């Protein structure tokens, strides 16, 4: 050991001053590098807790993390918060208990250390994580609209079917909390509908329901007549598909009971008649038949009873009627008269019955 020290001193004495300076610098650099490496290895790995946060949510989350004693790092724009990867699940649970963030979680669920990056997840869990992330991202996008303070999006995504005619359409529901005294305009509601519809595969704007926290339904009118026609056509196709699926299930269940499972395959194709028909007819009952009604009746009766006038006598002519020296003749015998007349006029109201039949569309 003493020999090693003496040899080192002898070697050091043989070095030039500049060589001694370089040697000391190298030794100090190595020591500093080892210290930095040791500190870096002791520092925990950070993962994304939440991203794309609003200023309100970011401030509330930072205050809660400080109160819980959880270390964090804030991005320069203030929209992303990172915490040690091993503390992310616990931090999210504690923040969820405080209803934070109000905008929900987004695609940070798939970041390293998050829930989406956990090993051993089943396909169902991965799909649910993807749906949660999509709902959170949509809610955050909706909250960027002026007047919207909070939003929640619920997606109903049916499972993929092997047959296109059996595929059920996806639906969505949105709950909005607007600023006091603010109600979204028609254009804003329409924008929300198309934002969600264009973010989810196969989702039609007509299948999106939007309500506010007070339970008021936002019913946005369609853009134009072409859009109305397109939605009506889509509704008809959906009605036919539902009828086909229900009929097919009923027939399949009946054949399964008779033949046994997996012994028969049923395919149903339905074509519905969507033409609306309105028929109006008038039925008339002829006069005298059942159903004819007398509108008015006029009845006249005339009768006369009394003595008849004296019978004419004498020779006709001027001389016989002259007042002077006119001869007289005996009167004829008196007689009595009897006269009766009856007239009845009846006017019938021709009975009619109007029948109006409306044939609803949708018949098979």
Looking up tokens 């569309």 gives 361
240 pairs with which residues across the strands? Answer: none
Number of Cβ atoms within 10 Å of the Cβ of 318: 6
* pLDDT recorded at residue 125: 79
* Residue of 116, 131, 123, 148 lying closest to 203 (CA atoms): 131
Q: What is the mean pLDDT of residues 93-100?
A: 80
**Per-residue pLDDT at 107 exceeds 70:** no
Tell me which long-range contacts 105-108 makes (C-beta under 8 A, separation of at least 24).
Answer: 105/50, 105/132, 105/133, 105/136, 106/50, 106/51, 106/52, 106/133, 106/136, 106/137, 106/140, 107/51, 107/133, 107/136, 107/137, 108/48, 108/49, 108/50, 108/51, 108/133
CATH number of 124-159+167-222: 3.30.300.30
Higher pLDDT, 280 or 196: 196
CB neighbour list of residue 211: distance below 8 Å, 6 or more residues apart: 173, 174, 175, 176, 217, 218
Cα–Cα distances in Å, from 346 out to 49, 285, 287, 293? 98, 17, 11, 10
Alpha helices in 116-224 (DSSP H): 123-143, 186-197
Looking up tokens 């950070």 gives 46
* pLDDT recorded at residue 172: 93
Cα–Cα distances in Å, from 105 out to 77, 128, 130, 138, 141? 18, 13, 11, 10, 12
**Cα–chain-centroid distance for residue 267?**
29
Alpha helices in the chain (DSSP H): 2-14, 17-42, 55-68, 88-97, 123-143, 186-197, 225-259, 318-321
- CA distance between the termini of the chain: 106
**Per-residue pLDDT at 108 exceeds 80:** no
Looking up tokens 């028909």 gives 277
Looking up tokens 């080192």 gives 8
**Per-residue pLDDT at 114 exceeds 50:** no
Q: What percent of the chain has pLDDT over 90?
A: 6
* pLDDT recorded at residue 115: 45
* Residue of 114, 180, 174 lying closest to 141 (CA atoms): 174
* pLDDT recorded at residue 88: 85
Phi, psi at residue 287, to the nearest 5°? -65, 135
Dist CA 217 CA 211 (whole Å): 4
* pLDDT recorded at residue 116: 44
Q: What percent of the chain has pLDDT over 70?
A: 72
* pLDDT recorded at residue 165: 64
What CATH architecture applies to the domain 46-100?
A: 2-Layer Sandwich (3.30)
Question: What is 57-85 written as a DSSP string?
Answer: HHHHHHHHHHHHT---EE-TTSS-EEEEG
- pLDDT tens digits, 202-223: 888 888 999 998 888 887 555 5
3-state secondary structure (DSSP) of residue 8:
helix
78: left (phi over 0), alpha (psi -120 to 50) or beta: left
**Stated pTM of the model:** 0.43
Bond before 338 cis per omega within 30 degrees: no
**Cα–chain-centroid distance for residue 101?**
28
Cα–Cα distances in Å, from 273 out to 242, 277, 360? 15, 11, 9
Tell the burial category of 51 from Cβ atoms under 10 Å away from its Cβ (0-12, 13-18, 19+).
middle
Mean pLDDT estimate for the chain: 76
**Per-residue pLDDT at 326 exceeds 60:** no
pLDDT band at residue 112 using 50, 70 and 90 as cut-offs: very low
3-state secondary structure (DSSP) of residue 26:
helix
CB neighbour list of residue 284: distance below 8 Å, 6 or more residues apart: 350, 351, 352
């Amino acid at each position: 050991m003493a020999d090693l020290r003496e040899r080192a001193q002898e070697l050091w004495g043989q070095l030039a001053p500049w060589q001694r300076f370089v040697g000391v610098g190298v030794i100090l650099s190595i020591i500093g590098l080892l210290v930095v490496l040791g500190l870096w290895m002791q520092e925990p790995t950070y993962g994304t807790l939440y991203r794309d946060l609003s200023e309100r949510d970011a401030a509330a989350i930072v205050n809660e993390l400080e109160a819980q004693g959880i270390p964090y790092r804030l991005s320069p724009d203030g929209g992303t918060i990172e915490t040690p990867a091993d503390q992310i699940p616990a931090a999210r649970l504690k923040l969820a208990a405080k209803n934070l963030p109000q905008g929900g979680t987004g695609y940070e669920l798939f970041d390293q250390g998050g829930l989406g990056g956990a090993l051993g997840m089943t396909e169902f869990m991965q799909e649910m994580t993807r749906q949660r992330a999509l709902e959170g991202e949509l809610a955050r996008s909706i909250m960027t609209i002026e007047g919207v303070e909070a939003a929640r999006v619920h997606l109903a995504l049916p499972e993929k079917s092997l047959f296109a005619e059996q595929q059920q359409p996806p639906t969505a529901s949105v709950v909005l909390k607007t600023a006091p005294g603010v109600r979204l305009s028609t254009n804003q509601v329409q924008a929300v509908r198309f934002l969600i519809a264009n973010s989810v595969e196969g989702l039609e704007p007509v299948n999106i329901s939007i309500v506010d926290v007070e339970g008021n339904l936002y019913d946005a009118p369609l853009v134009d007549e072409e859009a109305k026609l397109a939605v009506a056509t889509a509704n008809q196709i959906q009605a036919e598909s539902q009828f086909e699926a229900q009929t097919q299930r009923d027939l399949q269940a009946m054949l399964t009971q008779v033949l046994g499972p997996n012994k028969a395959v049923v395919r149903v194709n339905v074509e519905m008649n969507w033409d609306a028909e309105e028929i109006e007819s008038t039925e008339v009952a002829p006069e005298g038949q059942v159903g004819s009604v007398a509108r008015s009746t006029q009845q006249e009766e005339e009768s006369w009873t009394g003595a008849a006038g004296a019978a004419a006598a004498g020779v006709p002519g001027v001389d016989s009627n002259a007042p002077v020296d006119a001869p007289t003749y005996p009167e004829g015998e008196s007689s009595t008269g009897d006269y009766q007349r009856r007239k009845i006029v009846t006017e019938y109201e021709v009975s009619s019955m109007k029948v109006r039949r409306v044939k609803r569309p949708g018949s098979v």
